[in-house]
Amino acid sequence: MKSLTLRTVPALLLAIFSGTASAAAFQLWEQNASGLGTAYAGSAAIADNASTVFFNPAGLTQLPGIHLSAGMTGVGPSYKFKNSSSSGDPLAGGGNGGDAGSWAVVPNLYASWQLSPKLFLGLGISAPFGLATEYENSNWIGRVQSIKSEIKTVNYNPSIAYRLNDKVSLGFGVNYQTIDAELTRLNSQLKGDDRAWGWNAGALFTLSPAMRVGISYRSAIDYRLEGTGNGVLPIRADVKLPDTFILSVWQQVSDRWEAMGDLSYTRWNTLQSLNVTNRNSGALLDSEAFNYGNSWRLAWGAAYKSSDALKLKFGLAYDRSPVSDANRTARVPDNDRLWLSLGSQWSAGKTGKVDLGYAYLYVKETSIEQSKNSSILRGAYDSSAHILGLQYSAGF
């Protein structure tokens, strides 16, 4: 199959909400910059700005009046392949492909409204998944396996929250999500887009004025990509992106110190392969194997209030990849990673807060042995990432 073209999602939104994978596989944790400095520890319990719409809609009950939050995060991964006895035909030209990673921007926008002492509404626009790997030399040694892999999503998330009492709040959100994908390799190009619905929900437990526990869930989303192949064949490709569960805790340790933790679990086993079929006959035309397993992420962070205007943050996280050594591909040369994060928050009083965060992602050397069309890509990747985020939040 040479080409597959599906419906076109508005190019402007997809260009703005592009992203590069920073969490396991191609999940994006960068839904705000305020959490970046603590490696997103406590994400479902902190609820200190309107971005809680994404991480736990029940946190809206912690935001009286009207709140707005807007920011962007730059994600700069690096994937450098080192060849070790790759084989097959064609390999003429060869080369290691250069750096398959590049910088991309992940923006976000959130708002919340308090309708009554117990009822709150919220709205978020963000990018939950994103991938951008493109080898600098399209004639590289692994071009049979991959040349370009790009996935962009835009998520629209209206939410509602209700405070049952001083201890318990509940939240629920609807997600309308679009996806745009392009996968290319030697003599093959797949382009597709679709839109689908999902939901998210959460609960927030205020155990004391100094401690909150949050739980949240984001549903899996099913996509059915339909179009034509080679301008003639009716095509279908079904994709299911995973659901995620988060358990978070936040505690005010002293007048100056806060501590927070996070445990998340993502069911990536929903993504085993991308099978492109003839919509009429059901015949398989092309296939991309993933064979992902489920993954988890553990984060710990702290914040120190150095003055009334300045708060300093730091955090650590361990992100377990859903990709096993036996199933690693040149499209997503993923592996377990360690987050090392720093950040700061400057409060300007009534004019709002500004958050600045940075994280370095250390990824251990990643081996690969991928077979495709009688060609074997064998070697290792030297991978890492830098993440820089900026966010403004205000309440009225």
CA distance 187 to 240: 26
Q: Is the dihedral of CA 24, 29, 33, 36 positive or negative?
A: negative
Domain count, the chain: 1
CA distance 386 to 340: 10
Supply the pLDDT for residue 176.
98
What radius of gyration, in Å, describes the C-alpha atoms of the chain?
Answer: 22
| DSSP letter (8 states) at residue 10 | P
| DSSP letter (8 states) at residue 52 | H
Pairing outcome for strands 3-6 and 257-266: unpaired
Residue 20 CA neighbour count, 13 Å, CB half: 23
Residue 2: φ, ψ to 5°? -90, -40
Residue 17: φ, ψ to 5°? -95, 45
Pairing outcome for strands 188-208 and 3-6: parallel
CA distance 106 to 14: 11
Question: What would the pLDDT profile of 260-293 be if each residue is shown by its tens digit?
Answer: 999 999 999 999 988 888 888 888 888 888 999 9
The residue to which tokens 């050594």 are assigned: 325
Supply the pLDDT for residue 322.
95
Q: Is the dihedral of CA 247, 107, 390, 78 positive or negative?
A: positive
Supply the pLDDT for residue 8.
36
Name the nearest CA neighbour of 263 among 281, 247, 285.
247
CA distance 371 to 308: 58
Question: What would the pLDDT profile of 70-111 be if each residue is shown by its tens digit?
Answer: 999 999 999 999 999 888 765 545 789 999 999 999 999 999
CATH code of the domain covering residue 233: 2.40.160.60
- What pTM, to 2 d.p., does this model score? 0.91
Cβ atoms of 335 and 321 within 8 Å: the answer is yes
Residue 182 CA neighbour count, 13 Å, CB half: 11
Across the chain, mean pLDDT equals: 90
Other Cβ atoms less than 10 A from the Cβ of 191: the count is 17
3-state secondary structure 227-246: EEECCCEEEEEEEEECCEEE
Residue 262: φ, ψ to 5°? -150, 135
CA distance 49 to 392: 10
End-to-end distance of the chain based on CA atoms, in angstroms?
A: 55
* 3-class secondary structure, 58: helix
User: 12 burial class (0-12, 13-18, 19+ CB within 10 angstroms)?
Assistant: exposed
pLDDT in tens, the chain (396 residues): 333 443 433 444 444 455 565 667 789 999 999 999 999 999 999 999 999 999 999 999 999 999 999 999 999 999 999 999 888 765 545 789 999 999 999 999 999 999 999 999 999 999 999 999 999 988 899 999 999 999 999 999 999 999 999 999 999 999 999 998 888 888 877 778 899 999 999 999 999 999 999 999 999 999 987 766 665 677 788 999 999 999 999 999 999 999 999 999 999 999 998 888 888 888 888 888 899 999 999 999 999 999 999 999 999 999 999 999 999 999 999 999 999 999 999 998 777 999 999 999 999 889 999 998 888 999 999 999 999 999 999 999
Residue 53: φ, ψ to 5°? -50, -40
User: 156 burial class (0-12, 13-18, 19+ CB within 10 angstroms)?
Assistant: middle
CA distance 62 to 168: 11
For residue 95, give its domain range: 3-395
